[in-house]
Amino acid sequence: MQRTAISAILTIMLVAGCSEIAGDRVVVERAGPDDLLKLRSGPGLGYNVVLGLPDGTSLVRRDCVTEVGQLWCRVSLSEAPGVTGYVSADYLSERSF
């Protein structure tokens, strides 16, 4: 019984810790008051728009790639980690949380 409880606690700690280890927390900035940053299905303008993100949206940045001279980062929503896609790095800020 004690071994099962310890295993469960260690598993929970590992899963909880992975969200911070897996990426950097960033926020959307400079999209503009009347515009949204487009979350795309791939790194570039030719990919479908998944959804629009207003300024202030909290994201977890995973990795970034350069495509046609533009830096694109793979991100997920902080509040909904299953929602992922790519955004232009020009609109991400590492403001403290």
- 39 burial (CB, 10 Å; 0-12 / 13-18 / 19+) is buried
CB count, 10 Å around CB of 61? 18
User: Taking the model in full, what pTM does it have?
Assistant: 0.74
Q: What pLDDT, on a 0 to 100 scale, did the predictor assign at position 51?
A: 95
pLDDT in tens, 47-96: 999 999 999 999 999 999 999 899 999 999 999 999 999 999 999 998 75
pLDDT digits (tens, 9 = 90+) for 53-62: 999 999 999 9
Tokens of 64: 């970034």
